[in-house]
Amino acid sequence: MTDQLEGKRIAFLATDGVEQVELTAPWEALEDAGAQLTLVSLRSGTIQGFNNDVEEGDTFDVDQTVSSALATDFDGLVLPGGTTNPDKLRQDADAVDFVKAFAETGKPIGAICHGPWMLVEAGIADGHTLTSYPSLKTDIENAGGTWVDEEVHVDEGIVTSRTPDDLDAFCAKLVEEFGEGVHEQLAEDMDDDDEDVDVDLDDDEADSIATTAGLALGDD
């Protein structure tokens, strides 16, 4: 055990269907580096891990529900994969907001396999280069991101990997990025995305809005 991440609090966000080794391997690596870890999920109790998406594995005790969790209480976030795990998480508004809050404050995030689905859902993929399980390539590109076929890729504190075969590289980069701490550029990118919301109107639509506004003012 080392003290490289001593004092760092890291959240793992997962639910039923999580690919077990994508939860346990990063957990062990970060724990060995001295981090304090919290398993956050959609509900209290336990979650069911799976091996290769189809074979039931172990169950894991949930430490905190995502509805009560705050990104301000943590220094980083890990999003394990498994097909059904992130598919369930991305349908939960609290889970999506929780993930987005890490990026908005520049805190490092690790996502592996299907975990980057949550980066897509939270608007984090836009403008960033990610890797993932190959079937997410189109989703990432449609969300404004760039997809690369690499065992691990880091972009402004976002660490992504493809499959369990990449876990050694993924875990090593997690320790490195969580040790570095806040990435200001990531937070600035998220702020820019929120500001750059343009509405394109054709001439007829613009005239209609102007006429409506004029009528409303005339009624006062």
Q: Of the candidates 38, 42, 120, which has an alpha carbon nearest to the alpha carbon of residue 78?
A: 38
**Which entry of 113, 128, 171, 183 is annotated as an active-site residue?**
113
Chain CA centroid to CA 52, Å: 21
User: What is the secondary structure of 73-137 as a DSSP string?
Assistant: G-SEEEE---SHHHHHHTT-HHHHHHHHHHHHTT--EEEETTTTHHHHHTT-STT-EE---GGGH
Q: Is 171 a catalytic residue?
A: no
Q: Is 114 a catalytic residue?
A: yes
- CB contact at 8 A, 36 and 82: no
Q: Of the candidates 112, 86, 110, which has an alpha carbon nearest to the alpha carbon of residue 22?
A: 112
Q: What are the residue numbers of the active site?
A: 113-114
